[in-house]
Each structure stands twice: as structure tokens, then as C-alpha cells.
């Protein structure tokens, strides 16, 4: 088991209406991410064997890979309600789907080496400590086949920006701007950021993915607080 405060994270993501409002409001650029995944998948040129870490209701994967050939999909999430929604979202993929309710690191450690060619980590790894992120990257590398891809989209600090500066500013943005959420939901989301988000800097992410055996292949998202890349496994 990782050192993530899984109970706190799980409690937030069991609130489906709040999660839906964040996606519908595009506050974390989910529409742009879905479009970028579609473009990336069209260029990948192989049937996808996907591991989705922090899959939520799987709508990002289902929409992003709607036009791709999906050979298998394994979604992992802490929240039972998310897994229930993911089961409905992925129904068209039928027997190719496995859904796991549990800790991301524990789940990865149970997967065979080389069993996937795509690992999607969308807004999930920033909940882990720096040490656990490094371990996760190692496990992701092990699970991916050679030339497999890590699609990492996450909260990202600027160089020189402290963790406290980042989460304080994001929490203020949530309370002020995320108006599709109720006031109570905005308070809950801001508290989650303040207590459970541990984003790294872009330079740290580049250094540690390289150390784990990945090379940055392309950019998927570029925002002030949220960014994403496709990393190729050596």
C-alpha cells in the first residue's frame, strides 16, 4: 500500500455530482485532453492495451479512444462509485474490460510485465508523495511493453513555485471560478487540493521519467496549472 491518504481522496471522488461538474465545466481541460488523446491514438498505429490509473468513470478514456481499436482496458480507481460508473461507460468494450477498485500502486504491482502498451495517468499521480511517484514510474515502466507509452496529464508546479503557493492559488481559483459547483462543493474541492494534492515541477517530471526509462515524445496539454505529455518507454 502506498502512503497516499487514500481515505481522504476516495471520500472526495465518491461525490459524483462534484466530479461531473468539474468535467462539464472544463475547469481542468477535459475536453482538450479528450481531443488530444484522440489525435495521439490515431498516430499510434497499434491496437491499444490500456491501463488507466485513476480511471474515474472512464469517460476520458472512452471518449478519447472512441475511434481507436481497443484490445483491452484495465481501469483502476479508489472510489466504488467511479468503478460502477466506469462499468457502464465501458460496456461497449465488453469482455475486454477489467475494473479494479483499489490503490493504484498495489494494482500495478499485481500486473504482469509488458502486459500493456498504454498507461493513462490523468490527474491521479499528483495525489502521491514524491517517493511514491518514483516507485509508480518504475512500475509503469515494468508493466509497459518496449515502445509502450505513458500518457501523463496532471497538476504541475512551475520551477521555483512551492507546493503551498500552488495549492493556495488553485484553491482560491476553485472557490472563485468553478461556478458549476455549489458553494459547498467548491469548499470541499478546495480543501481536497489543500490537503491531498502534491504536484511536482515540470523539470522534476522530465528528470524522473527519464531516470525511469522514458523519453518525452509529445505534449498533450499545456496550461498554467495543468499539463500533459506522452512519454515513450525504452
User: What is the separation of C-alpha 165 from the centre of its chain, rounded to a whole number of angstroms?
Assistant: 22
Q: Span 177-195, mean pLDDT?
A: 97
Is position 143 within any domain?
no
Asked, for residue 134, whether it belongs to a domain, the answer is no
Alpha carbon distance 191, 14 (integer Å): 15
Does residue 145 sit within a domain? Answer: no
Evaluate whether residue 144 is within a structural domain. Answer: no
16 pLDDT tier (thresholds 50, 70, 90): confident
Mean local confidence (pLDDT), 195-217: 97
pLDDT at position 1 is: 44
Is 1 inside any structural domain?
no
Residue 177, domain member (yes or no): yes
Tell me whether residue 141 is in a domain: no
pLDDT in tens, 77-118: 999 999 999 999 999 999 999 999 999 999 999 999 999 999
Q: How many domains does the chain have?
A: 1
Domain extent for 226: 6-127+152-233
- pLDDT reading at 67 higher than 80: yes
- The pLDDT of residue 14: 56
Average pLDDT, the chain: 94
Q: Count Cβ atoms below 10 Å from residue 146 Cβ, excluding itself.
A: 10
**What pLDDT score was predicted for residue 217?**
86
In-domain check, residue 135:
no
Is the pLDDT confidence value at 2 over 70?
no
CATH of the domain at 228: 3.40.50.150
Amino acid at each position: 500500500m502506498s502512503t497516499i491518504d487514500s481515505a481522504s481522496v476516495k471520500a472526495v471522488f465518491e461525490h459524483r455530482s462534484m466530479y461531473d461538474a468539474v468535467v462539464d465545466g472544463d475547469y481542468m481541460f477535459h475536453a482538450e485532453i479528450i481531443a488530444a488523446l484522440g489525435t495521439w491514438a490515431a498516430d499510434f498505429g497499434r491496437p491499444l492495451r490500456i491501463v488507466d490509473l485513476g480511471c474515474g468513470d472512464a469517460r476520458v478514456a472512452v471518449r478519447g479512444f472512441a475511434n481507436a481499436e481497443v484490445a483491452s482496458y484495465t481501469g483502476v480507481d479508489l472510489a466504488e462509485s467511479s468503478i460502477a460508473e466506469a462499468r457502464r461507460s465501458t460496456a461497449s468494450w465488453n469482455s475486454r474490460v477489467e475494473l479494479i477498485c483499489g490503490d493504484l500502486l498495489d494494482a500495478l504491482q499485481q500486473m504482469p510485465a509488458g502486459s500493456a502498451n498504454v498507461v493513462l495517468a490523468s490527474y491521479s499521480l499528483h495525489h502521491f508523495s514524491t517517493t511514491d511517484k518514483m516507485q509508480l514510474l518504475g512500475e509503469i515502466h515494468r508493466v509497459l511493453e518496449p515502445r509502450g507509452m505513458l500518457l501523463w496529464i496532471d497538476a504541475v508546479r512551475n520551477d521555483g513555485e512551492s507546493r503551498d503557493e500552488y495549492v493556495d492559488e488553485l484553491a482560491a481559483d476553485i472557490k472563485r471560478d468553478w461556478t458549476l459547483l455549489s458553494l459547498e462543493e467548491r469548499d470541499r474541492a478546495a480543501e481536497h487540493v489543500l490537503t491531498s494534492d502534491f504536484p511536482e515541477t515540470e523539470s522534476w517530471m522530465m528528470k524522473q521519467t527519464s531516470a525511469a526509462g522514458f523519453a518525452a515524445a509529445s505534449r498533450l496539454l499545456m496550461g498554467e496549472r495543468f499539463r500533459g505529455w506522452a512519454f515513450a518507454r525504452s
